[in-house]
Amino acid sequence: MAMTIHNKTTWLPSMANKIMDKIMQIMTSPAGIIEWLYWRFRKVNYCKVNKTSIVIHDNRYSFREIHADEIIRWSVIHEMGFDIVYIELSTGESLKRFDKYNDLLDGLRTIAKSKEKDILPTE
């Protein structure tokens, strides 16, 4: 009579894979709620509109404030999942920002709507 030995630890890798697959499925869901909350909490690529300025957060500790009178002109190129926003400042500086959540676009339309022009990027 042959005796078979069952290894009770063989289910662990497959169970761990199933759990990780479920976690990744939730994190990459169409709504992307967890990703959105993470980036918002970390204040990455986040813009806040004040009365006459926009505060752009690159990460949690780095930000830049742009006043409405500094903006010469700006334009937007709409892509599928984000917008590319070009801003020309009075200091001669040109900014290119990826606007995933439409914060920057809404802010520019609030404080500098008349300065929206069709400009081509100069890169």
Q: Please tell me the predicted confidence (pLDDT) of residue 19.
A: 79
Q: What is the pTM of this model?
A: 0.64
Give domain limits for the chain: 12-42, 45-116
Cα distance between residue 9 and residue 31, in whole Å? 36
Cα distance between residue 72 and residue 95, in whole Å? 12
* Bridge partners, 96 (sequence order): 86
pLDDT block averages, 10 residues each, the chain of length 123? 49 66 69 67 76 84 88 92 92 90 91 86 58
The CATH number given to 45-116 is 2.30.29.30
Q: What does each C-alpha distance from 76 to 16, 17, 39, 117 come to in angstroms?
A: 45, 42, 22, 9
Contact at 8 Å (CB) between 91 and 70? Answer: yes
The three-class DSSP label of residue 64 is strand
